[in-house]
A and B are shown apart, each in its own frame.
Chain A
Amino acid sequence: MPKCTIDGREVDVPPGTTVIQAGLMVGIEIPHFCWHPDLPVDGNCRMCLVEIEKMPKLQIACNTMVTDGMVVRTTSEKAVQAHRTTLEFLLVNHPIDCPVCDQAGECYLQDQYMEHGLHDSKVQPEEKVRKRKVVDLGPIMLDAERCVLCSRCIRFEAEVTRTNSFEFVNRGDQTQISTFENRPIMHNYAGNLADVCPVGALLSHDFRFKMRVWFLEATDSVCPGCSTGCNIFIDHRDGEAQRLRPRRNVEVNKSWMCDIGRKEYKEIALDTRVTAARVRSPSGWEGTSNPTALDTLAERLQEAGAASAFVATPQATNEDLFAFRTLAERAGGMLDFRVGDPQDRVRVREDGVLLRADRNPNTQGCLDLGLGRSGVSEIVKACAAGKVKALLLQGPELLRRPEALEAIAKVPLVAVMAAHEEPSLDRAHLVLPAAMWAEVDGTFTNYQRRVQRIRRAFPAPDSAAPRWALAAGALKRLGAPFAATSAREVFALLARAVPDYAGLDFRSLGTGGRALPERPDQAATQEARA
């Protein structure tokens, strides 16, 4: 284990660690542009020059391996002077358009200028080299003038998506990045280009001019788009999500997420949200309060007893699922979640990068909690035979299946927890407003069996409530109060009840989640299917 000293702080690192990584381990951030933790080292920006004892010249920290006894200085006068001069070169032809640039506020160039530069430019604005601005590349906007030619986008295209869309064109001070004939970026990971770009050269089309980033508040969460469970930040302001951004987790998504996932936030603020409970009366829908609706539900479940059926949804958190399972067990009815067989696709890759064929965030959680019991087709058969007196759906999936409609029509009470209005809700008799993933605390279990935390970014609209709270309300009315009043407590109950989750709690999950041990039987069958 090589041991080195960076700015007077000793650090033990694994062999092969670079100085820049070693610095990050002890909280020293060496200024950089082209280095990215999840991209190969290029060493072209020269910003990370540091002074190393016994070396005649300054070295780039991103491509210098730590050797035993190395003494590095990142803030010596020589190093600081190098940062300043490098930055001055990078800024020679930079347009001064921070006021209209969406990157402002999260721009490396801005940060480094405030930290290390602060020089007055020797180049007048009129003398600067003009390049192409406002080039529409589909999901991405290119502004070649702002580019610092760090090649992060080129390396991302080469290494992660293997699409090689970008290349440098022209030479000398005319060098700029470009796609061939300005063709748009077609792949599903374009949003990452805006993220890897340290400056405002590549910006997201979706987020363009929408918001200045310093108004945004970031909440840690997990993408609900598929079973991969990419770690994300929800950037929101005044209770409205403005964008999703990947949060680095080496075990899951590195620093990336797909564009399908990035669009997930748009579902939250739609005006088609279910915001209040309602019951069907002979004259049509009748708005009601959650307690009244739960009274009705509990009464009907009580009457139905074992003639009830419960269909969970893999869109729900583990807490929701556990509360739902407890409710189903209390009522003694049938229970399943496998509408459309998502469990067959949990590990099936849709492309070679992140996206998976199962577009539910928590199918694995459903499996772990043992929700696949009675079989969906059995439940539908029982409905068709008139053996089900009350059917509670945790999500509207079953109502969308044409083959189940006839059977569902025979059930005297169909209750559904829904977040969005849709025509299929008209097949239910009772609708409960459910909060969405960004509005609840909880956990998702991804395809790797990694339990990851999602956090509440903002409140749910009107009387929409977490699904576990709705289930808990019904349990209370059935005379079996649920001993939990928060998601944290529900998870504690879950950890006691489900052996695989034993010993876990919200705190021990941390920011990156915890991987559960593989279940040998399951892994084998799943891999075989994949």
Chain B
Amino acid sequence: MAARVVTVDRDTKPGIYPVLIGMAITFKNMFKTMFGGAAATIQFPEEKRKTSGRYRGIHILTQRLDGTPKCVACYMCATACPAECIYIEAGERPEATIEKYPTRFEIDLLRCVYCGFCVDACPEEAIFMSRENDLVGTSRAEMIIDRDRLMERAKLVEYGPGYRPTDHDVRRPVRIAALERLKHEHGIVPGPPSR
């Protein structure tokens, strides 16, 4: 689109009048924030910012009733992770029905981009995100948090749970794409036959 010239006709009155209008706005806002409770500043850390229930903070690994990780070390989160910040080593669980669990599960919180893909990818609802966002440490090594520390986080109720798999569509994009193709190429709509 070609640029065009717009002539703005400002209605400017001379004298003190515009200054007074400006000051009135300034004072109005000053009294609002001083006495009306509209201040944007919060008294961190005594006071925490309110975040939404879908806030993506530091991860939580959920537990089974016996305190073992719910994670089955399927590496889906590590596969989905765009920052490659998840390191997993799998081990053998004695129960034949579960079989596998992570002997090591580490997240490099400095590398993590808090996208929440790991939560989406998890087939076991084993990884959630909390609303915790004040990440403090004195070394890089300290910022790599391991399995046990990730599992302990569930106990920290200070911030509350953040992004987690709830009722969003579990049909993966890849499957949806494949369904579309099947429908398009063969006119087949999969699923149980309608009676």
Contact yes or no, B99 A120, CB < 8 A: no
Residues of A within 8 A of B182 (CB): 118
Q: Given contacts A118-B178, A214-B79, is CB(A209)–CB(B73) below 8 Å?
A: yes
Q: Which of B76, B90, B186 interacts with A75 by CB under 8 Å?
A: B186
From 130 to 164 in chain A, residues with beta carbon under 8 angstroms from any chain B beta carbon are: 133-134
Residues of A within 8 A of B74 (CB): 98-100, 104, 212
Residues of B within 8 A of A100 (CB): 72-74, 98-100
Contact yes or no, A120 B191, CB < 8 A: yes
Q: Find the A residue at minimum CB distance from B75.
A: A212
Contact yes or no, B100 A209, CB < 8 A: yes
Rounded to whole Å, the gap between the CB of B27 and the closest CB of chain A is 62
Stretch at the interface among A25-33, A77-85, A424-432, A520-528: A77-85
Q: Find the A residue at minimum CB distance from B99.
A: A100
Task: Count chain A residues whose beta carbon lies closer than 8 angstroms to a beta carbon of B.
Answer: 25
Residues of B within 8 A of A77 (CB): 186-188
Residues of A within 8 A of B97 (CB): 133
Residues of B within 8 A of A117 (CB): 190
Bound CA span A81–B193, Å: 12
Does B18 reach chain A (CB closer than 8 Å)?
no
Residues of B within 8 A of A214 (CB): 79
Bound CA span A134–B99, Å: 8
Bound CA span A59–B90, Å: 44
Q: Which of A99, A122, A133, A208 interacts with B76 by CB under 8 Å?
A: A99
Does B92 reach chain A (CB closer than 8 Å)?
yes
Bound CA span A104–B97, Å: 17
Contact yes or no, A99 B124, CB < 8 A: yes
Does B123 reach chain A (CB closer than 8 Å)?
yes
Residues of B within 8 A of A119 (CB): 190-192
Q: Find the A residue at minimum CB distance from B174.
A: A114
Does B179 reach chain A (CB closer than 8 Å)?
yes
Q: Find the B residue at minimum CB distance from A214.
A: B79
Question: Per-residue 0/1 for B96-140: is the Cβ within 8 Å of any A Cβ (1 yes, 0 no)?
Answer: 111110000000000000000000000110000000000000000
Contact yes or no, B186 A80, CB < 8 A: yes
Does A518 reach chain B (CB closer than 8 Å)?
no
Q: Find the B residue at minimum CB distance from A134.
A: B96
Contact yes or no, B190 A118, CB < 8 A: yes
Contact yes or no, A81 B188, CB < 8 A: yes
Bound CA span A215–B99, Å: 21
Does B175 reach chain A (CB closer than 8 Å)?
yes
Q: Given contacts A100-B99, A118-B182, A134-B96, is CB(A209)–CB(B91) below 8 Å?
A: yes
Contact yes or no, A99 B92, CB < 8 A: no
From 59 to 88 in chain B, residues with beta carbon under 8 angstroms from any chain A beta carbon are: 72-76, 79
Bound CA span A98–B91, Å: 16
Does A406 reach chain B (CB closer than 8 Å)?
no
Rounded to whole Å, the gap between the CB of A203 and the closest CB of chain B is 11
Does A38 reach chain B (CB closer than 8 Å)?
no
Does A462 reach chain B (CB closer than 8 Å)?
no
Q: Given contacts A118-B179, A119-B192, is CB(A99)–CB(B96) below 8 Å?
A: no
Question: Per-residue 0/1 for A49-78: is the Cβ within 8 Å of any B Cβ (1 yes, 0 no)?
Answer: 000000000000000000000000001010
Q: Which of B91, B99, B187, B192 interacts with A122 by CB under 8 Å?
A: B192
Rounded to whole Å, the gap between the CB of A389 and the closest CB of chain B is 53
Bound CA span A81–B192, Å: 13
From 212 to 269 in chain A, residues with beta carbon under 8 angstroms from any chain B beta carbon are: 212, 214-215
Contact yes or no, B192 A99, CB < 8 A: no
Bound CA span A460–B90, Å: 27
Contacts from B to A (Cβ < 8 Å) = 72-76, 79, 90-92, 96-100, 123-124, 174-175, 178-179, 182, 185-188, 190-192
- Other 6 A-B pairs with CB < 8 A, given A100-B74, A119-B191, A212-B74: A75-B186, A80-B186, A114-B175, A118-B175, A209-B100, A212-B79
22 contacts between A and B (CB under 8 A): A75-B185, A77-B186, A80-B186, A80-B188, A84-B190, A97-B99, A99-B123, A100-B73, A100-B99, A104-B74, A118-B175, A118-B178, A120-B191, A122-B192, A134-B99, A208-B92, A209-B73, A209-B90, A212-B74, A212-B75, A212-B79, A215-B75
